[in-house]
Every structure is written in structure tokens, then in C-alpha cells.
Structure 1
């Protein structure tokens, strides 16, 4: 016996879903804003690299700037990864709650179907007994 979608939707813990929705939405907005608001890649001094008479100290300072920029990008990506991991965890927890509720409703529906079958058998037996000549 298939579970009706209407039955499933009626028995979803909407209070939990609604109470968690702002937290999930805020996490999604923060993640989207951090991902979509990418800053432009820094324009490194190409002229410093291409000059044939560049001093070692100038090259070293350019490399240090590039390393600092790359470290900042890695830190930003790490933050985005943590934010997305938290959001995924929240969504997974909410999904697990919904699955547990659906499974509970499936079990209840099986019990109700069994009880209904027993009730039909008992009523048919009672009708048969009542209709037998005495």
C-alpha cells in the first residue's frame, strides 16, 4: 500500500521545519554572498617579473606579496568551506528528521491497514453468523 503524499505532508513536523528554516536560509545566504562576492584576483606586477634587471629584493618583495594574497585567499576558502559544511550538516539533520517521521507514518499506516483488515474479517464473519438460519 503506497503512502499518500497528502498523508506524508500532513504528518511532517512542520513546526520543526519552520523553526529551522530561518537558520538554514541565513546560512545559505551567507554562503551565497561569500561565494558570489568574489573579489577580483590581484594584478601582480608583471612588469617587475619581466624586467631583465630586477633586483633580488624587488623580486622577493613581489613574491612575498603574492604569498600573502594567496594565504588570504586560502583563509577565505577555508571559511567558505566551514560555512558550507555547517549548512550541509543542518540540512542533513533536517532531512534525517523528515525521514524518521515518514518511516514512523509508514509503520502507523501498516498497523492501521492491518487493523482495518481484521475489522473487515470480523464484520464479514459477524454478518455471516447473523444471516445463518437458526
Structure 2
């Protein structure tokens, strides 16, 4: 039986933590769709524009073997609609979001995977600036 997995993220300054979450998500089903935050959504969430444009971030994520499709996430308020549109059986998020998406357990299984310790895009950007 086919099991569709969906996850979301900005995926700016792509690093091994991103890769581990996506590979882990792909192991939970037969296909993985990834919602990549739009530049505007990232600005509203994090107060800064991404280093890489939404098109570049989507191209990087789409090139990974573990990813079957990518789409633009325009709004956090539309997560339910994205999950329904992509026929999600499983929603995967990093465990830094634990509990925040449990409201979607009525339409799909919600799984929080552990983040890679001591790595984040913000930390990498700060290290590069030095």
C-alpha cells in the first residue's frame, strides 16, 4: 500500500541536518513531498530573507534521491490544505516542533523526527560572517 509522506521547511543553506530529516521522512512511506517555505513566508517567520531564493532552495531539495516532489508553502495557515491536497498519510516535522502539529492527526499520522544536534542554518550563517 502506498504511503504518502509530507514535510515542510525553509531548507536555506542546506546542511546535513536537513538531509537527515528528509531521508528519515522518506523511510516512513513510499513517496515524499516537501513544502518549501516561500521567501515571503520565511521573512514573516524568521524576520530575514533566505540566503538562497525559493527557486534555488526548491531545486536543491528536488535534486535529492529521497524527495519525490516539491511545492511552495505560501502560508502556515494553509498546512491542512497542503496535507489534503498532497493526500498525506504522514506529516513529518523536526522534534523542535513537537506537539505543534498534532491538530493534523485527524487527517494523517504526525511524526516528529529528532534534529541533528549542534547544527542550524542560523549557526552556519553566523559562523560564515565571522
Larger of the two Rg values belongs to structure: 1
The TM-score, its normalising length taken from structure 1, stands at 0.22
TM-score if structure 2 supplies the norm length? 0.22
Of Structure 1 and Structure 2, the greater strand share is in 2
Higher share in helix: 1
- Which structure exhibits the higher relative contact order, with contacts defined as CA atoms closer than 8 Å and separated by 6 or more residues? 1
